[in-house]
């Protein structure tokens, strides 16, 4: 059913490791986003991209980085994971050159990261 895929779904890793969370969408959407959400808490935008080779930081400061080399792919990388990075990371995408009621966000199922 989902047209936006995230891997891994769950990751438990030790402090200091480098990790990459993958996000791919098959809808041809120009816009892609990464949100961070702790349990029971609000969504925080950490990165977004409006197209290939375009990336911006979101409202929440994050030590992660992103790249957008292909339209369908928007990976997020943490060079050195820390326990404070433990959270759920949600990738999303939307369609269109502008913003309107038709440009809804579609979310992936999320990557739940635990850093020990």
Partner 1 sequence: RKEVEQDPGPFNVPEGATVAFNCTYSNSASQSFFWYRQDCRKEPKLLMSVYSSGNEDGRFTAQLNRASQYISLLIRDSKLSDSATYLCAAITGNQFYFGTGTSLTVIP
Is 45 one of the binding residues for partner 1 (CB under 8 A)?
Answer: yes
Is 78 one of the binding residues for partner 1 (CB under 8 A)?
Answer: no
Is 41 one of the binding residues for partner 1 (CB under 8 A)?
Answer: yes
Is 103 one of the binding residues for partner 1 (CB under 8 A)?
Answer: yes
From CA 81, how far away is CA 71, in angstroms rounded?
27
* Dmax (CA) of the chain: 42
Stretch that binds partner 1, among 13-21, 38-46, 65-73, 75-83 (CB under 8 A): 38-46
Among the listed residues 30, 50, 22, 25, the one whose alpha carbon sits nearest the alpha carbon of residue 107: 25
From CA 11, how far away is CA 20, in angstroms rounded?
10
From CA 11, how far away is CA 55, in angstroms rounded?
25
Compute the least distance from the CB of residue 90 to partner 1, in Å. Answer: 6
* Residue in 43, 52, 57, 67 binding partner 1, rule: CB under 8 A: 43
Compute the least distance from the CB of residue 18 to partner 1, in Å. Answer: 25
Burial of 55 (C-beta count, 10 Å sphere; 0-12/13-18/19+): middle
**Residues making contact with partner 1 (CB under 8 A):** 33, 39, 41-43, 45, 50, 88, 90, 94, 99-101, 103-110, 112
């Amino acid at each position: 059913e989902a047209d936006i895929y995230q891997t891994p779904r769950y990751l438990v890793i030790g402090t200091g490791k480098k990790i990459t969370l993958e996000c791919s969408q098959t809808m041809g959407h120009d816009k892609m986003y990464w949100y961070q959400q702790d349990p029971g808490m609000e969504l925080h935008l950490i990165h977004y991209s409006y197209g290939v080779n375009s990336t911006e930081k979101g409202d929440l400061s994050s030590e992660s980085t992103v790249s957008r080399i292909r339209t369908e792919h928007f990976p997020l990388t943490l060079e050195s994971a820390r326990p404070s990075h433990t959270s759920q990371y949600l990738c999303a995408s939307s369609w269109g050159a502008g913003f309107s009621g038709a440009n809804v966000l579609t979310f992936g199922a999320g990557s739940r990261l635990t850093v020990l």
